[in-house]
Structure 1
Amino acid sequence: MSKKSRRGLVLAAPASDSGKTLVSLGLGAALVSRGQSVQYFKCGPDFIDPSLHRQVSGRVSRNLDLRMCGASFVRDSFARHGDADFVIVEGVMGLFDGGETSTAALARALNLPVVLVVDGAACGESIAALVYGFTTFDPSVNISGVIFNRVGSEGHYRLLRESVESHCRVEVLGGIPRHDDFVVPGRHLGLHMEHDGPFSPERLGVMADIVDSHIDFDRLHVLAGPLPQPPEQPTAIRTVQQPVRLGVARDAAFCFYYEDNFDLLRAAGAELVFFSPLVDTELPPDLDALYLGGGYPELYAAALAANRSLREMIRIRAAEGLPIYGECGGFMYLCDSLVTAEGEEYPMAGIFPVRAQMKKSLARLGYRKARVMKKTLWPAGTILAGHEFHYSEIDAMPDRVERAYQLDDGRMEGYCCNNTLAGYLHLHLGGNFGAAAHFVDFCRTGGRAATERLS
Structure 2
Amino acid sequence: MPDCPALFIGASASHQGKTTVTAALARHHTRCGLNVRVFKTGPDFLDPMILERACGAPVYSLHLSMVGLDACRALLAQAAREADLILIEGVMGLFDGTPSSADLAATFNVPVLAVIGAHGMAQTFGAIAFGLARYRDDVPFHGVLANRVASARHAQMLSETIPDGLRYCGHLSNADDIALPERHLGLTQPDEVAGLDARLERAADAIAQTTLAELPPPVHFDDATLPAPPRLLDGVHIAIARDAAFSFVYPANVDLLAAMGARISTFSPLANEPAPHDADALYLPGGYPELHASALASNERTRASIAAHVERKKMVVAECGGMLYLLDTLTDIEGTRHAMLGLLPGDAAMQRKLSRLAMQRIDTMHGAMTGHTFHYSTLQTPMQAVLHAAHATTGAEGEALYRHGSVSATYMHAYWPSNPAAAAALFRGESL
Task: Supply the distance in 1 between the matched residues of 2:149 and 2:234 (Cα, whole angstroms).
Answer: 58
Change (3 A) 1:237 1:403: closer
Task: Supply the distance in 2 between the matched residues of 1:241 and 1:104 (Cα, whole angstroms).
Answer: 37
The answer to whether the 8 A contact 1:131-1:168 is kept is no
Q: How many Å apart are 1:225 and its aligned residue?
A: 3.6
Q: How many Å apart are 1:81 and its aligned residue?
A: 3.9
Q: How many Å apart are 1:422 and its aligned residue?
A: 0.3
Task: Supply the distance in 1 between the matched residues of 2:190 and 2:252 (Cα, whole angstroms).
Answer: 19
Task: Supply the distance in 1 between the matched residues of 2:110 and 2:179 (Cα, whole angstroms).
Answer: 28
Q: How many Å apart are 1:5 and its aligned residue?
A: 7.1
Alignment of 1:63-78 (within 5 A): 63-78=61-76
Q: How many Å apart are 1:417 and its aligned residue?
A: 0.8
Task: Supply the distance in 1 between the matched residues of 2:190 and 2:332 (Cα, whole angstroms).
Answer: 22
Q: Of residues 380, 401, 412 in structure 2, which corresponds to 1:425? A: 412
SS in 2 for 1:434: helix
Task: Supply the distance in 2 between the matched residues of 1:331 and 1:81 (Cα, whole angstroms).
Answer: 34
Q: How many Å apart are 1:359 and its aligned residue?
A: 1.1
Task: Supply the distance in 1 between the matched residues of 2:377 and 2:156 (Cα, whole angstroms).
Answer: 47
The answer to whether the 8 A contact 1:237-1:266 is kept is no
The answer to whether the 8 A contact 2:178-2:199 is kept is no
The answer to whether the 8 A contact 1:338-1:345 is kept is yes
Task: Supply the distance in 2 between the matched residues of 1:344 and 1:125 (Cα, whole angstroms).
Answer: 49
Alignment of 1:105-120 (within 5 A): 105-120=103-118
- The equivalent residue for 2:295 is 303
- The equivalent residue for 1:376 is none
The answer to which of 119-128 and 336-345 deviates more is: 119-128
Q: Give the counterpart letter for 2:6 in structure 1.
A: G
The answer to whether the 8 A contact 1:112-1:225 is kept is no
- The equivalent residue for 1:226 is 219
1:21-77 C-alpha deviation (Å, 9 max, x unpaired): 111111112112212222111001011100001111111011112221221122222
Q: Of residues 144, 149, 152 in structure 1, which corresponds to 2:150? A: 152
Q: Does 1:195 align with 2:191?
A: yes
Alignment of 1:207-226 (within 5 A): 207-218=203-214, 221=215, 223-226=216-219
Change (3 A) 1:152 1:326: same
Q: Of residues 340, 360, 365 in structure 2, which corresponds to 1:368? A: 360
Q: Give the counterpart letter for 2:297 in structure 1.
A: A
Q: Give the counterpart letter for 1:414 in structure 2.
A: L
Q: How many Å apart are 1:439 and its aligned residue?
A: 4.0
Alignment of 1:52-451 (within 5 A): 52-82=50-80, 83-99=82-98, 101-164=99-162, 167-218=163-214, 221=215, 223-226=216-219, 228=221, 236=228, 238=230, 242-372=234-364, 380=365, 382-395=367-380, 397-398=381-382, 401-408=383-390, 409-410=396-397, 413-432=400-419, 434-439=421-426, 442=428
Q: Give the counterpart letter for 2:414 in structure 1.
A: L
Larger helix percent: 1
The answer to which of 262-271 and 250-259 deviates more is: 262-271
Q: Give the counterpart letter for 2:67 in structure 1.
A: C
Q: Give the counterpart letter for 1:421 in structure 2.
A: S
Q: How many Å apart are 1:239 and its aligned residue?
A: 5.6
Q: Give the counterpart letter for 1:38 in structure 2.
A: V
- The equivalent residue for 1:22 is 20
The answer to whether the 8 A contact 1:264-1:436 is kept is no
Q: Give the counterpart letter for 1:423 in structure 2.
A: T
Task: Supply the distance in 2 between the matched residues of 1:104 and 1:180 (Cα, whole angstroms).
Answer: 29
Change (3 A) 1:24 1:88: same
SS in 1 for 2:161: helix
- The sequence identity of aligned pairs, in percent, is 34
1:287-322 C-alpha deviation (Å, 9 max, x unpaired): 111111000001111111111122122123213210
SS in 1 for 2:254: helix
Unmatched segments (≥5 aa) in structure 1: 373-379, 447-455
1:375-398 C-alpha deviation (Å, 9 max, x unpaired): xxxxx4743222111011112x22
Task: Supply the distance in 2 between the matched residues of 1:241 and 1:156 (Cα, whole angstroms).
Answer: 58
Task: Supply the distance in 1 between the matched residues of 2:307 and 2:343 (Cα, whole angstroms).
Answer: 6
Count the aligned residue pairs: 425
Task: Supply the distance in 1 between the matched residues of 2:293 and 2:399 (Cα, whole angstroms).
Answer: 27
When the two structures are superposed, what TM-score results if normalisation uses the length of structure 1?
0.87
Q: How many Å apart are 1:342 and its aligned residue?
A: 1.2
Unmatched segments (≥5 aa) in structure 2: 391-395
Q: How many Å apart are 1:434 and its aligned residue?
A: 3.1
Task: Supply the distance in 2 between the matched residues of 1:367 and 1:130 (Cα, whole angstroms).
Answer: 28
Change (3 A) 1:263 1:235: farther
Q: Give the counterpart letter for 1:263 in structure 2.
A: D
The answer to whether the 8 A contact 1:9-1:88 is kept is yes
Q: Of residues 34, 38, 41 in structure 1, which corresponds to 2:39? A: 41
SS in 2 for 1:321: coil
Task: Supply the distance in 1 between the matched residues of 2:212 and 2:363 (Cα, whole angstroms).
Answer: 49
When the two structures are superposed, what TM-score results if normalisation uses the length of structure 2?
0.91
The answer to whether the 8 A contact 1:357-1:394 is kept is yes
Q: How many Å apart are 1:416 and its aligned residue?
A: 0.8
The answer to whether the 8 A contact 2:4-2:219 is kept is yes
The answer to which of 421-430 and 66-75 deviates more is: 66-75
Task: Supply the distance in 1 between the matched residues of 2:265 and 2:227 (Cα, whole angstroms).
Answer: 20
